[in-house]
Amino acid sequence: MSTPAAIEAIGVSRSFGAVSVVHDATLRVEPGSITALVGPNGSGKTTLMLMLATLLKPDAGSVRIGGHDAGSDTAAARASLGWMPDTLGSWPALTVRESLDAVASMYGLRAAEAGARTAELLELTGLVGLADRRTPTLSRGQKQRLSLARALVHRPRVLLLDEPAAGLDPEARIMQRRILKDLAAEGVGILITSHVLDELDEIASRVVFLRDGRTVDQDDVEQATVAAMRGRDWRIRALDASGLASALEALGLASIAESSLAGQVRTLQISDDAAAAALLASLVTGGARIVEFAPVTSALEQTFVQLAAASSEPGPSQPVPPQSAPETGAEQ
């Protein structure tokens, strides 16, 4: 029998009163993969995450975590998942170490085992020096580290992370990315939301886009990604800035000079990746010593803008739609 999906949600919906917040959301995350869940503010990401984490009951649809039905086999689903909420609720009287020990004991680890797991997680998340600090005294970024450590106590095979990079300094972000990549390499299935799309672009192999509470069809996401790659702005930096400017001019390409901490960069629009590769080859062949050649915005960020722009076209989305609303000739 094939391995079950780490996360499988089919036709999940949830309203609050008369307002439909998530409708008919469908997604699948495979073990050993990292999937990004992205969407504009208020599109329903946290609400969907709460349902996947078995903390909010869907009005309709089904959720399976590691093959366990979240509705009928909630305990097994919960045992399989680690949940990192967007804000850490903590016990104010406990230290960092005591909080992790307490979570370990809730998951049934014996004292010695819990102590060892806590020590391992303090090390992994860079919290050793803060182990004896009471949790309310932690900074936002330190709380995020604790929150990730807490989600990992019982070695879950599925991770649900809501804005895990919020408040982290660059070093902590790098550390977190490494932890998540390592976990995925060990077979953990990870679903992660973030508004820092460059972060996600680096670690996620798939993206699920939520628009007005609906998961956008994967084909539409792929089409938007292809479209987003066309006509992007690129950023080029060379050891010799004036040499680069003349080389671009000689090729008949208009570019704009901008200053950066690393020195002068030039930005210009390039039609697609093939044209970018050809330009790079020609600049290098011509003797330009290029040290940076990259799109200004990531593919994920561009895709997001593309899909979010499409969402503002068709009109109102909040009221619960009728079962089969007639098409009104929308172009896409």
Ligand X SMILES: Nc1ncnc2c1ncn2[C@@H]1O[C@H](COP(=O)(O)OP(=O)(O)OP(=O)(O)O)[C@@H](O)[C@H]1O
The footprint of ligand X (CB under 6 A) covers: 16, 19, 21, 39, 41-47
Residue that has been written with the tokens 């970024």 in this structure: 141
Q: State in angstroms the smallest separation of the CB of 55 from ligand X.
A: 12
Q: State in angstroms the smallest separation of the CB of 42 from ligand X.
A: 4
Report the residue number, 48 or 224, with the smaller CB distance to ligand X. Answer: 48
Report the residue number, 66 or 85, with the smaller CB distance to ligand X. Answer: 85
- For residue 261, report the phi and psi dihedrals to the nearest 5 degrees: -60, -30
44: left (phi over 0), alpha (psi -120 to 50) or beta: left
What is the biggest distance separating any 2 CA atoms in the chain, rounded to whole angstroms? 71
Q: How far is CA 74 from CA 5, 82, 315, in A?
A: 16, 14, 38
CA distance 164 to 21: 22
Q: Is the dihedral of CA 50, 54, 58, 61 positive or negative?
A: positive
251 three-class SS? coil
Report the residue number, 41 or 285, with the smaller CB distance to ligand X. Answer: 41
Q: State in angstroms the smallest separation of the CB of 44 from ligand X.
A: 4
Q: State in angstroms the smallest separation of the CB of 24 from ligand X.
A: 15
The order of strands in the sheet holding 263-270 is: 256-260, 263-270, 232-238, 290-295
Q: State in angstroms the smallest separation of the CB of 22 from ligand X.
A: 7
Q: Is the dihedral of CA 26, 29, 35, 36 positive or negative?
A: positive
Report the residue number, 45 or 145, with the smaller CB distance to ligand X. Answer: 45
Strand pairing of 34-38 and 60-65? unpaired
Coarse DSSP helix, strand, coil percentages of the chain, rounded to the nearest 5 percent: 40, 25, 35
Structure-token pair, residue 17: 């009163």
Report the residue number, 40 or 243, with the smaller CB distance to ligand X. Answer: 40
The DSSP call for residue 325 is P
Residues 66/53, Cβ–Cβ less than 8 Å: no
Q: State in angstroms the smallest separation of the CB of 45 from ligand X.
A: 4
Q: State in angstroms the smallest separation of the CB of 319 from ligand X.
A: 13
Report the residue number, 31 or 61, with the smaller CB distance to ligand X. Answer: 61
Q: CA geometry: angle at 311 spanning 305 and 317, to 5°?
A: 150
Structure-token pair, residue 292: 């940076």
Report the residue number, 196 or 281, with the smaller CB distance to ligand X. Answer: 196
Q: State in angstroms the smallest separation of the CB of 37 from ligand X.
A: 9
Residue that has been written with the tokens 């991770």 in this structure: 159
Report the residue number, 17 or 322, with the smaller CB distance to ligand X. Answer: 17
